[in-house]
């Protein structure tokens, strides 16, 4: 999307608050990485556009869309 910030831009903003930021622009790979880092008892928070959240939700529920 033309108005969207890049993963690198968002990463730089996030690093102002935490040095432990990793940038992974691919949502599927990002979810895999986050799940591994969180471990079996951890949690992963997904925030972003409705498109991103929908994609992640579909992955978690097995739904492919309308």
Q: Looking at residue 1, what is its pLDDT?
A: 64
How many CA atoms lie less than 13 Å away from 12 in the CB half-sphere? 4
This prediction's pTM: 0.69
> pLDDT tens digits for the chain (66 residues)?
677 888 888 889 999 998 888 888 888 999 999 999 999 999 888 888 888 888 888 888 888 766
Nearest to 47 by CA among 31, 63, 59: 31
**What's the longest Cα–Cα distance across the chain?**
39
**CA-based torsion, 16, 43, 62, 47: positive or negative:** negative
């Amino acid at each position: 999307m033309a108005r969207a910030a890049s993963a690198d831009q968002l990463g730089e903003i996030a690093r102002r608050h935490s040095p432990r930021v990793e940038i992974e622009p691919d949502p599927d790979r990002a979810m895999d990485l986050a799940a591994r880092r969180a471990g079996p008892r951890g949690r992963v928070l997904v925030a972003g556009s409705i498109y991103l959240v929908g994609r992640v939700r579909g992955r978690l529920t097995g739904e492919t869309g309308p």
